[in-house]
Amino acid sequence: MGAVYGDYLIVGGEKWRIIEKGGIRWEGEKIVEVGEGVEGEYLGEGSVLLPSLVNGHTHLEFSGNRGKLRYGKGFVRWLESVIAHREEILNRCREECYRQEVEKLIDSGVTAIGEISSIGIDIDYLGQAPIEVVLYNEILGLNPGAVDFLYSDFLARVEESQKVAEENSNFKVGISIHSPYSVHWKLVEKGLEIAKREGYPVQTHLLESRAEREWLEKEEGEFKGFFGEKFPFARRQFSPIQFIQLFEGVKVGFVHLTHGTGEEMEAIGKIGGGVIHCPISNRLLEGTTLRWDLGRNYNLPIGIGTDGLSSNYTLNIWEEMRVALFIHQSTPPLQLAQELLTSAFYWNRKILGLEGGELKPENPADFIAITLPEPQLEELEQLPLQILLHTTSTPRVYFRGKKLK
Ligand SMILES: [Zn+2]
């Protein structure tokens, strides 16, 4: 048990409430009291308490990449470089590499991640990591002759992660359908069948490039040449809307949507899905971005993630939010800072199917404390923006009532 208080406490949840001289008291893993006048350790001048953050979309298996992959030349040129260097990059990341990246995630105030697991080498380490993990086992492959093999390999990884989840309640199993252009429709069906039966959350990359849109609409564009050369059996299988509709009835996060229109946003809203935004990755690969304002217009839950080091230079979620703050110029900065923080601590949890994101009794005691450079704010409305501008490392991190940092 314990209790702390700071100059400001952001309660969290979908709608913000800020309590001055607010504190939090917890017993075991749960919060028992939140509000003014909580007696406990004072965290000092300019201290701010808020729910811990979530990195909604990572690929830790690719953490061995530093400058090996081709950026700034469009998505397909990047993809070619991934295919060329995949084995080498995957082989570079083993236990110590995961440990370091998880330590950096915790340092940035992250206590939960949505990890896309391509080949399952992250399961062992993340099964023991001191944070909450939703491990999305990925299914990928188009070759009709390899469907059975790909499915049995995927099932073996799902079973391995299920065993870990039985031992560790902070480790959860999810399913990742790589994308509509890269997974044979039979595998899409089988993966979704498991997700529906077991109630597993799902993530899928969608409309990350112009090439993808052109392929899904007309079986044309840059992917035509790419597939013709490397995967001649590839065919267009679904329109973007048909693909989205397949996810009805599952908890799903569509990742990227940089080439998504209002029509797709509406379809995602209709099936109760969410969107995960990875602005740095999108800028480096394709130069485009999600229409943040459009997603908000359709009232979509929008989460935020760093993607992997295969398309980013850092897994620091503050850096990701700061970049988003400067990209989406149609949303005013004070409003956007608040929306981005809400994405990181609240919407990510909703999309990943996790509890919390709001500091209130009965919720898990997952929270962080940071310190503002100026001890007293003249205007309270400045709080989200000042936090976002001045934080990279998070001085205190609590997960399930335990101090991780
Ligand atoms: Zn990704």
- Burial class of residue 232 in the structure, from the number of CB atoms within 10 Å of its CB (0-12 exposed, 13-18 middle, 19+ buried): exposed
Asked if residue 12 has pLDDT above 90, the reply is yes
Alpha helices (runs of H) in 205-310, residue ranges in sequence order: 210-218, 222-230, 240-245, 262-270, 279-285, 292-297
pTM: predicted TM-score of the whole model, two decimal places: 0.98
Gap from CA of 96 to ligand 1 centroid (Å):
22
Q: Pick the closest to residue 301 from 334, 240, 263, 344 (CA basis).
A: 344
Per-residue pLDDT tens for 346-359? 999 999 999 999 99
Q: Choosing from 132, 138, 208, 222, which is the catalytic residue?
A: 208
Amino acid at 401: G
Listed range (44-53, 236-245, 369-378, 390-399) with the worst mean pLDDT: 369-378
Residue 159 designated active-site: no
Asked if residue 375 has pLDDT above 90, the reply is no
Gap from CA of 311 to ligand 1 centroid (Å):
8
Cα 191–chain centre separation: 20
Q: Distance of CA 263 to CAs 244, 272, 294, 384, Å? A: 11, 14, 10, 31
Q: Which structural domains are found in the chain, ordered by start?
A: 2-51+357-403 (2.30.40.10), 53-352 (3.20.20.140)
Asked if residue 143 has pLDDT above 90, the reply is yes
End-to-end, the C-alpha distance of the chain in Å comes to 16
Give the number of residues written for the chain: 405
Asked if residue 78 has pLDDT above 90, the reply is yes
Asked if residue 193 has pLDDT above 90, the reply is yes
Q: Distance of CA 91 to CAs 64, 88, 149, Å? A: 8, 5, 22
- pLDDT number for residue 214: 98
- Please compute the mean of the pLDDT values over residues 213-230 and round it to a whole number: 96
**What six digits make up the tokens of 96?**
């110590």
Per-residue pLDDT tens for 288-297? 999 999 999 9
Q: What is the mean pLDDT of the chain?
A: 97
Gap from CA of 19 to ligand 1 centroid (Å):
36
What distance in Å separates the CA atoms of residue 215 and residue 113, rounded to the nearest whole number?
A: 31
* Whole-number percent of the chain with pLDDT over 70: 100
Gap from CA of 205 to ligand 1 centroid (Å):
6
Calculated CA dihedral for residues 329, 335, 341, 346, nearest 10 degrees: -120
Cα 375–chain centre separation: 32
Q: Distance of CA 249 to CAs 19, 192, 199, 244, 273, Å? A: 38, 10, 9, 11, 9
- pLDDT number for residue 376: 86
Gap from CA of 115 to ligand 1 centroid (Å):
9
How sure is the predictor about 1, in pLDDT bands with cuts at 50, 70 and 90? very high
How sure is the predictor about 83, in pLDDT bands with cuts at 50, 70 and 90? very high
